[in-house]
Amino acid sequence: QKEVEQDPGPLSVPEGAIVSLNCTYSNSAFQYFMWYRQYSRKGPELLMYTYSSGNKEDGRFTAQVDKSSKYISLFIRDSQPSDSATYLCAMRQGGKLIFGQGTELSVKP
């Protein structure tokens, strides 16, 4: 079993839709939870960073962590074609990041 599981998609939605991206994890020692966005043939860029259970909002993005269920989510409201990318969840243990497989999102105009 992988430490971090993420549905690879691809996920295709119409512009304006609410997108839900999810990851589960098995290691309760993970302390910090991140979401990265990666455009094709580019490095990942950090979108959201949380360390406690609950919700964190930043503009159209909301990150949700449920440590009891070992489950994290990223919600994107009013999705735009420019949101089309691969979204990776990542978890930090010590100094290392463990990434999920990434979910490929396509937002159609």
Partner 1 sequence: GAVVSQHPSWVICKSGTSVKIECRSLDFQATTMFWYRQFPKQSLMLMATSNEGSKATYEQGVEKDKFLINHASLTLSTLTVTSAHPEDSSFYICSARSLAGGNEQFFGPGTRLTVL
Residue 109 is a binding residue for partner 1 (CB under 8 A): no
Q: How far is CA 51 from CA 18, 20, 87, 100, in A?
A: 24, 19, 18, 17
Separation between Cα atoms, residue 54 and residue 73, nearest integer Å = 10
One residue of 60, 67, 70, 92 binding partner 1 per CB under 8 A: 92
Residue 45 is a binding residue for partner 1 (CB under 8 A): yes
Q: Say which residue the tokens 């295709």 belong to.
A: 12
Contacts (CB under 8 A) with partner 1, residues 3-22: 6, 8
Give the shortest CB-98-to-partner 1 separation in angstroms: 8
